[in-house]
């Protein structure tokens, strides 16, 4: 009410300004008067104090004495405190101080006028001086002479009060002036508030300009709106009627002020206008118009009576309201269909969603029939239209003799379903009793359906990309109205939306099946024969599509086994194809018997080349590609003779080791960068695994999920592996999958469990060979003795031949020390190692050459042979397959025949 925007607020601000000015003037006058009086009082007090001290007994003697300061300083301070002045100074006739409140100022020149005092007069003035206990400032001081008995001036005394201290004389009067001003402001505010409230009550809070504008707007709006407005007082008299009300009710121009009962209105309207009851949207007939009437009391809280009535012509609205409501329901159903249809990428589920969304808002029963090729994910063809499979049923079909789910239906050419498929548009059968083609399909079933109350049908083809996938059938039953042409258009719109979702699901089904088939064809199909590990694995594809997870178990020479676990970034065919290329590359690198870090380095180079190829292809085709190829991989080589396992990982999760006693540990394998980044070395770790230990390899899909943190998943994996030392690898795999498999896996899961074995010491023979060709016969003899100990007499000749050739080459072309090792397992392995890094190679010897046929003989008699490099040199190895009743050597090819063929130029 007292804001500056209101008149009362402006008056109040003026009063405040006047009061403030008066208070300021009063305070200024009071300050000046108090200052003047205070100065006069200070002068009087200073003169009295100075004269009193100057007339004190002993003053003259003290001034003429040898130490005036010692005598007068205590007296001056005592007099100053008793007199209430700020200083009492005694000085000689030259103005040199003998006393002062601060001793350091004694002996200095007095600040002030002393000449009149030297002539016997009293001097009163304002002057500044040294600091005083009360603070710095201008002092009111009096200077009086000190005379002896003869009237001679022997010294001077000055007493004074600072101006700062004089000000305290008028400060006590200041609250009186300020309080008076505050009281005046409060009275002004109270008076203005009372006047403002009275004005607000009278004008209802409106300013004069607002009041004028309100009346102008009232008249403009009241007579321009397309709605009649009536105001009736408590006596039933018409107070106001706008132009629209006069038109709707046919009121005369002078109707204002008349009683409603005297206006000649229809009895129903007169009774409604004069009754005290409230009315909301009541429709009344006035001549040829339908009027929607609303009535409310004018003063409901005051009980003063009267009412306001609004009238609206709804004649045209009533005509179109029914159609608008139907259209609104259809739009709502289409929106619901867009939300509910296509929530999954399953063809049958999508078809069922179409059937469910149309019941009961549009139809009583809905069936969806699709081609078999669509359900299997293949492209639909027109040849399959005659035979459709029922994919979904919605509504009250339990009580209807309809074709059941998965039933193959052969439609005749005259049925609405076949007509819809052939024409590519919907077919309406408003009355099924007259639909001959529909009844001829199955007369007995049709008769039973009609008896159950089904009376109308709309068949609409499900078309996507100008190809029909099937047909949707909408039936109405019971008392529901028959389908109309507008319903046919709506059914086609609904089916078109569903067809797109069904086609998307079909294409996903095809791609998913192809990707799963490709991926499963690229993964291991069986366990290779080897002696080092007992292996089991599990592979679970993602729910929404296959990924690039892979694993492998690769036997290596010397009884060793390589374990591989990898994960390609992404999903779908691209990831599966990339996985196949990487798995093939790992096999090739393993065949070369490379160290684990070199295998990962070669894989890294391969991934970079693949990425560059894709980038170049994308640039050439000017479209966005599959994205950067990336992968993680873990590669491990297990040596069953020593129990050592060499591991390296490129961005892959840590392996887990379960000891024979059930202890679960995570070995510290250095983490290297994922494949595809380049220029990063791959670090290795050497693990010692006791016999019976289980090495667990997995992909991150096992421990990572959208709703699960990787650390939580890893803790769950450790918990599932606890106590797995007594389980078989297969049982361990199943226990882990049961504990950690997500309900809806979003990523592939690969799990590999390998239990370690050790070669029995009795099946391993190893000895050093001196670097002398003369010892080769003794090596053959020792080999023959070991083979007879193992019961391999049938392999003696072949093994001695192979071993003698390898030892001879090592002694002749290698570097000492030379070591021989025989391993007896599923096959018989001969290994000869030396300190040279030069690898032998197989070559063709001429008939005149004396040598060069040793490796040829080894290659002919051994199942496999090759070279692997070690940190200390190389190992030449050869493996022979052991048979139950036959020698490992090819008995049908004597050595002489082989040597003769080797020199044949035709070879």
Question: Residue 894 pLDDT > 50, yes or no?
Answer: no
Tell me which residue of 337, 364, 363, 331 sits closest to 350, measured CA to CA: 337
Q: How confident is the model at residue 367 (pLDDT cuts 50, 70, 90)?
A: very high
- At residue 327, the pLDDT reads 74
Our measurement of the distance from residue 860's CA atom to the centroid of its chain's CA atoms, rounded to an integer in Å, reads 64
| Residue whose C-alpha is closest to residue 887's, from 801, 809, 779, 764 | 801
H helix runs in 240-371, sequence order = 243-249, 267-274, 315-340, 347-357
Strand bridging mode 694-698 / 387-395: unpaired
Distance, in Å, from the CA atom of 889 to the CA atom of 860, rounded to the nearest integer, reads: 9
Least confident of 214-218, 304-308, 546-550, 756-760: 214-218
Which pLDDT value is given to residue 226? 74
Task: Provide the b/e sequence for 538-555 (b: ≥16 CB within 10 Å).
Answer: bbbbbebbbbbbbbbbbb
How far is residue 896's CA from residue 801's CA, in Å, rounded to a whole number?
A: 13
Q: What is the DSSP letter of 815?
A: -
Mean pLDDT is lowest, of 82-91, 219-228, 488-497, 524-533, for 219-228
161's enclosing H/E stretch is strand 153-162
| pLDDT given for residue 703 in this prediction | 87
Looking at the DSSP assignment, which residues form a beta bridge with residue 388?
409
- 397-401, 455-459, 600-604, 891-895: range with lowest mean pLDDT: 891-895
- Quote the pLDDT of residue 366: 93
Q: Are 312 and 292 in contact (CB under 8 A)?
A: yes
Please give the structure tokens belonging to residue 488: 């046919």
3-state SS record for 475-489: EEECCCCCCCHHHHH
Which residues lie below 8 Å from residue 233, measured CB to CB, with a gap of 6+? Answer: 239, 305, 306
Identify whether the C-beta of residue 862 lies closer than 8 Å to the C-beta of residue 802.
yes
What is the residue-wise DSSP string for 66-95?
A: S-HHHHHHHHHHHHHHHHT-SEEEEE-TT-
* Beta strand pairing call for 644-650 and 671-672: parallel
Question: What values do phi and psi take at 900, rounded to 5?
Answer: -65, -40
Residue 696 scores a pLDDT above 80: yes
Q: DSSP letter at 364?
A: S
Q: Which long-range contacts (CB under 8 A, 24 or more apart) does 248-256 make?
A: 248/286, 248/289, 248/291, 248/311, 248/313, 249/286, 249/311, 250/287
The answer, yes or no, to whether residue 879 has pLDDT greater than 50, is yes
The predicted pLDDT at position 119 comes to 86
> Three-state SS for 905?
coil
φ, ψ at 738 (rounded to 5°)? -65, -35
Residues 6+ apart with CB under 8 A from 635: 562, 563, 564, 586, 596, 599, 600, 647, 648, 649
Q: Would you say residue 901 has pLDDT above 50?
A: no
Task: Indicate the DSSP class of residue 707.
Answer: T
Percentage of residues of the chain with pLDDT beyond 70? 85
The lowest-confidence range among 29-43, 231-245, 363-377, 789-803 is 29-43
Angle between the 596-621 and 573-591 helix axes, to the nearest 10 degrees? 140
CA distance 820 to 350: 68
What pLDDT is attached to residue 1?
Answer: 55
Q: At what angle do helices 776-790 and 796-813 cross, to 10 degrees?
A: 150
Cβ partners under 8 Å of residue 514, min gap 6: 573
At 748, is the pLDDT very low, low, confident or very high (cuts 50, 70, 90)? confident
**Which comes out higher in pLDDT, residue 744 or 317?**
744
Residue 171 backbone dihedrals phi, psi, to 5 degrees? -65, -35
Q: In angstroms, rounded to a whole number, what is the distance separating the alpha carbons of residues 715 and 710?
A: 9
Model confidence at 189, in pLDDT bands (50, 70, 90)? confident
Q: Report the run of H or E that residue 733 belongs to, with start and end.
A: helix 729-740
pLDDT of residue 301: 62
State residue 304's pLDDT score: 67
State the burial class of residue 558 (Cβ atoms within 10 Å of its Cβ: 0-12, 13-18, 19+). Answer: buried
Distances (CA, A) of 532 to 80, 535, 592, 641, 684: 115, 10, 20, 9, 21
pLDDT at 236: 82
**Which is higher by pLDDT, 242 or 414?**
414
pLDDT grade, residue 337 (50/70/90)?
A: confident
Q: How confident is the model at residue 904 (pLDDT cuts 50, 70, 90)?
A: very low
Q: Look at residue 148 and give its three-state secondary structure.
A: coil
Backbone angles phi, psi at 631, to 5 degrees: -160, 155
Q: What is the dihedral of CA 272, 278, 282, 287, to 10 degrees?
A: 20
Query: Do residues 369 and 471 lie in contact, with contact meaning Cβ atoms separated by under 8 Å?
Result: yes
- Give the C-alpha distances (Å, rounded to integers) separating 692 from 557, 662, 696: 22, 10, 13
pLDDT digits (tens, 9 = 90+) for 94-113: 889 889 888 888 888 888 88
Token pair, residue 431, equals 């009355």
Return the pLDDT at 890: 43
What's the pLDDT score for residue 103?
87
* Residue 342: strand, helix, or coil: coil
Supply 386's token pair: 């005659």
Residue 13 CA to residue 7 CA, distance in Å, equals 10
SS3 821: strand
Lowest mean pLDDT among 205-214, 350-359, 495-504: 205-214
What average pLDDT is seen over the chain? Answer: 82
pLDDT at 329 over 70: yes
pLDDT score for 426: 93
Q: Where are the beta strands (DSSP E) in 666-785?
A: 671-672, 684-688, 694-698, 749-756, 764-769
Contact 178, 26 (CB under 8 A): no
Instruction: Work out the burial of residue 79: count CB atoms within 10 Å of its CB; fewer than 13 is exposed, 13-18 middle, 19 or more buried.
Output: buried
Residue 109, classed as helix, strand or coil, is: strand
Q: Which helix (H) or strand (E) holds 471?
A: strand 467-477
3-state helix, strand, coil in the chain (%, to 5): 45, 25, 30
Helix (H, G, I), strand (E, B) or coil at 429: strand
Rounded average pLDDT over 594-608: 91
| Cα 597 to Cα 236: distance, rounded to the nearest angstrom | 103
Q: What is the pLDDT of residues 624-678, one digit of tens each?
A: 445 446 789 999 999 999 999 999 999 999 999 999 988 999 998 998 899 888 7
What is the structure's pLDDT at 616?
66
């Amino acid at each position: 009410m007292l804001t500056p925007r209101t008149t009362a607020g402006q008056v109040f601000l003026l009063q405040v300004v006047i009061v403030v000015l008066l208070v300021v003037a009063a305070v200024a006058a009071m300050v000046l008067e108090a200052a003047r009086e205070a100065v006069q009082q200070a002068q009087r007090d200073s003169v009295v104090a100075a004269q009193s001290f100057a007339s004190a007994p002993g003053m003259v003697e003290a001034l003429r004495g040898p130490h005036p300061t010692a005598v007068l300083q205590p007296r001056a301070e005592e007099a100053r405190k008793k007199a209430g002045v700020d200083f009492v100074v005694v000085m000689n006739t030259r103005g040199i101080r003998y006393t002062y409140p601060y001793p350091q100022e004694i002996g200095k020149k007095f600040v002030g006028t002393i000449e009149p005092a030297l002539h016997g007069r009293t001097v009163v003035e304002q002057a500044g001086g040294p600091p005083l206990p009360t603070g710095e400032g201008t002092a009111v001081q009096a200077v009086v002479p000190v005379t002896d008995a003869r009237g001679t001036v022997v010294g001077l005394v000055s007493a004074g009060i600072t101006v700062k201290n004089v000000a305290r004389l008028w400060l006590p009067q200041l609250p009186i002036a300020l309080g008076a001003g505050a009281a005046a402001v409060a009275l002004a505010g109270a008076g203005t508030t009372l006047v403002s409230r009275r004005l607000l009550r009278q004008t209802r809070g409106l300013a004069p300009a607002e009041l004028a504008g309100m009346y102008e707007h009232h008249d403009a709006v009241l007579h321009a709106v397309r709605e009649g407005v009536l105001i009736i007082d408590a006596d039933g008299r018409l107070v106001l009627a706008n132009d629209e009300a006069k038109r709707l009710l046919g009121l005369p121009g002078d109707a204002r002020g008349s009683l409603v009962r005297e206006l000649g209105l229809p009895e129903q309207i007169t009774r409604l206008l004069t009754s005290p009851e409230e009315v909301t949207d009541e429709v009344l007939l006035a001549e040829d118009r339908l009027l929607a009437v609303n009535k409310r009391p004018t003063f409901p809280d005051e009980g003063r009576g009267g009412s306001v009535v609004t009238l609206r012509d709804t004649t045209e609205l009533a005509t179109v309201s029914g159609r608008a409501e139907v259209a609104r329901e259809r739009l709502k159903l289409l929106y619901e269909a867009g939300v509910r249809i296509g929530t999954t990428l399953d063809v049958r589920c999508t078809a069922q969603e179409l059937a469910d969304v149309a019941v009961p808002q549009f139809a009583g029963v809905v069936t969806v029939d699709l081609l078999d090729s669509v359900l299997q994910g293949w492209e639909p063809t027109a040849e399959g239209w005659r035979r459709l499979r029922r994919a979904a049923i919605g509504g009250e079909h339990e009580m209807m003799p309809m074709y059941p789910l998965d039933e193959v239906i052969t439609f005749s050419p005259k049925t609405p379903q076949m007509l819809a498929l052939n024409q590519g548009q919907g077919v309406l059968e408003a009355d099924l009793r007259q639909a001959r083609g529909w009844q001829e399909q199955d007369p007995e079933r049709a008769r039973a359906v009609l008896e159950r109350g089904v009376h109308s049908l709309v068949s609409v083809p499900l078309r996507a990309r100008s190809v029909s996938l099937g047909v949707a059938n909408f039936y109405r039953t019971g008392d529901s109205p028959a389908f109309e042409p507008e319903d046919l258009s709506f059914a086609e719109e609904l089916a078109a939306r569903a067809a797109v979702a069904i086609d998307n699901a079909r294409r996903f089904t095809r791609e998913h099946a192809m990707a799963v088939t490709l991926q499963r064809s690229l993964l291991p199909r069986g366990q290779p024969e080897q002696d080092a590990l007992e292996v089991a694995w599990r592979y679970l594809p993602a729910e929404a599509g296959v990924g690039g997870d892979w694993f492998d178990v690769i036997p290596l020479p010397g009884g060793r086994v390589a374990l591989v676990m990898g994960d390609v970034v992404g999903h779908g065919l691209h990831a599966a194809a990339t996985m196949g290329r990487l798995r093939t590359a790992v096999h090739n690198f393993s065949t070369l018997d490379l160290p684990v870090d070199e295998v990962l380095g070669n894989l890294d180079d391969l991934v970079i080349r693949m990425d560059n190829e894709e980038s170049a292809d994308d640039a050439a085709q000017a479209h966005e590609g599959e994205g950067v190829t990336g992968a993680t991989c873990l590669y491990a080589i297990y040596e069953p003779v020593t129990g050592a396992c060499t591991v390296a990982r490129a961005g892959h999760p840590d392996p887990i080791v379960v000891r024979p006693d059930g202890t679960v540990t995570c070995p510290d394998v250095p983490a290297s960068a994922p494949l595809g980044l380049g220029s990063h070395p791959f670090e290795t770790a050497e693990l010692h695994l006791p016999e019976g230990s289980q090495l667990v390899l997995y992909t991150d899909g096992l421990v990572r999920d959208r709703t699960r943190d990787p650390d939580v998943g890893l803790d769950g994996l450790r918990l599932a592996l606890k106590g797995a030392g007594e389980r078989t690898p297969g049982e361990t795999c199943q226990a882990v999958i049961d504990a950690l498999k997500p309900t809806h896996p979003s990523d592939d899961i690969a799990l590999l469990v390998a239990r370690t074995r050790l070669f029995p010491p009795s099946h391993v023979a190893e000895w050093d060979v001196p670097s002398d060709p003369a010892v080769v016969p003794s090596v053959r003899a020792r080999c023959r003795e070991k083979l007879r100990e193992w019961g391999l007499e049938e392999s003696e000749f072949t093994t001695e031949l192979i071993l003698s050739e390898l030892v001879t080459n090592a002694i002749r072309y290698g570097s000492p020390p030379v070591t021989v090792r025989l391993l007896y397992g599923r096959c018989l392995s001969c290994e000869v190692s030396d300190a040279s890094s030069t690898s032998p190679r197989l070559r063709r010897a001429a008939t005149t050459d004396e040598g060069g046929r040793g490796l040829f003989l080894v290659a002919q008699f051994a199942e496999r042979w090759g070279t692997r490099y070690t940190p200390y040199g190389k190992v030449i190895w050869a493996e022979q397959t052991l048979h139950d009743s036959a020698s490992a050597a090819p008995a049908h090819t004597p050595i002489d025949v082989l040597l003769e063929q080797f020199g044949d130029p035709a070879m």
